[in-house]
Chains A and B, each alone.
Chain A
Amino acid sequence: MATLRMREALRDAMAEEMRRDETVFVIGEDVGVFQGAFKVTEGLLDEFGERRVRDTPISENTIVGTGVGAAMAGLRPVVELMTVNFSLLALDQIVNHAAAIPYMFNGQARLPMVIRMPGGGGHQLGPTHSHSFEALYLQVPGLLVACPSTPADGKALLKAAIRDDNPVIFIEHESLYGSRGEVPDEGEEVLRFGEAAVRREGGDVTIVGVLKMAQVAEAAARALSHEHGVEAEVIDPRTLRPLDLDTILESVRKTNRAVIVEEGWPHGGVGANLATLITEQAFDHLDAPVQRVTGADVHMPYSKRLEQAAIPHEEHVVKAALATLEGSI
């Protein structure tokens, strides 16, 4: 066990996999000499050299497409897109190519590749640099979607993603890069996709928090306990595809209430999706409508006050949880 920051945990995941497997390489804008826009690839160029840590021109669609082509020919590229926002420039390669190729060529080509991208709001980066696209990528069949909230998960999931034979969209949160946490040593991580983490047990309401919102959900759960005597169960799905729906349903069947927290936009969001799945599969167990807490339905404003007003906070989650309990406490 070591205490690491998220960015270090992610870096270690890449370094360990690169040492283990010669076919793993890192490609992206400023991942080498600059050491990564968020310093996640720090030290990799020194250790692995330019052949395996490749700085690219600013050509997102071609960076991803090059990764797809290399994966088709048997390599395991780890593509870094500088931010989630820039991934929109590569959407053609991600959706029409990476996601479709294994299926449309009937399994003749596998794409063992990872596309990492940091996103999220909270840094006053304004409307084009603060997106949360978990739902966008979740929607596309053929892609896997990981969104780790702790350094331990960051490392384990990234290693699992690199070893996985599917194209993985790996979404990181910019404001979690500096967060610290205990991280198991090499060989002791649990490298599995599709397993949610129950961050806190409780019998009154289930709160599902995605990416950074898993931490906000935990904070809200503590407040619910201290201030309202409500014991919330907090679930961090960790991967949205594959989705550990069973753990979420099991919890809802116990608590009979659910709140879903995400940073992205409300329409067609992760919460909309989960709320439907929960309603379809556990309707008889629900004592209240499923509540969603999402980012505001606007482009992220620059002003600190407005930006914070647009992002979900502990307070919003507490209110939503209490709303599911109205009349019963």
Chain B
Amino acid sequence: MNSIIERARQQVLADGRGLDEAELVEVLRLPDEDLAELLALAHEVRVKWCGESVEVEGIISLKTGGCPEDCHFCSQSGQFTSPVRSVWLNIPELVAAAKETRATGATEFCIVAAVRGPDERLMTQVREGIEAITAEVDINIACSLGMLTQTQVDELRAMGVHRYNHNLEAARSYFGDVVTTHSYEERWQTCEMVKDSGMELCCGGLIGMGETLEQRAELAAQLASLDPHEVPLNFLNPRPGTPFGDLPVMDGRDALRAIAAFRLAMPRTVLRYAGGRELTLGDLGTRDGLLGGINAIIVGNYLTTLGRRPDADLDLLDELKMPIRELQKTL
């Protein structure tokens, strides 16, 4: 068997073992004429090892802008001349956003803050927010609050946080080109602490930031070795004023190859469409990705940018006969 697609069919689809980094490079280099076959295989893998259902999540920015870190893709860094201004969301609006999210059928609601890590003020806001949401909305709560101490991990676990998001952002070999204010190892350490705590780990990254195909494969392989419950896959949306603001939007076919590659690296992981899909893939590409390995979506808007209308995504799932995953209180 010479074709990487045929090898993946045996190894990943039949045996449930993900491809390694070198094999992922082969996948990412497949020509356009093989793309349909690749996506079909990735979809088969997803259905066999994850099932038909799609997990739907909404996200909200609790604390926007003014971040001290310099993640070069992010409009919320206080180090760049981005037009994004700082704002904190209050508790009633946070609860309203959770209700909006639940009304779409989503089962996850992720509270996000643009910070290096949470201080006491933010932890208090999160604690009070979770208490208020839990009293009124039946939804799993996730958080994304930057790098954590062990004490903070324990506190979040005690608050009932179901899942914690902390992305690797980029491959280890490319990380220094993306972030200079903290290290890849610091991010990894928080991910390990979250996993050890019993919270589900949500850990992904961005592609289309100028990385090579080898580095894209490296990111997928490093995520596979971390073995998170969920991998959110973002496509760079070049933001004005950021160091990556003038990068081109990545090619939609490359994005689809990456989706399939990530699925073939991690056959059992929740693989979520995150930011940038509207710009990179459009409506047609969104459908192709859902039939090419994706089994979770962020519904509605993102933190500082807008997504597709929720009903457009929900109608698409209905058309594709992909049921929305039911709410399960797993922790």
Partners in one complex: no
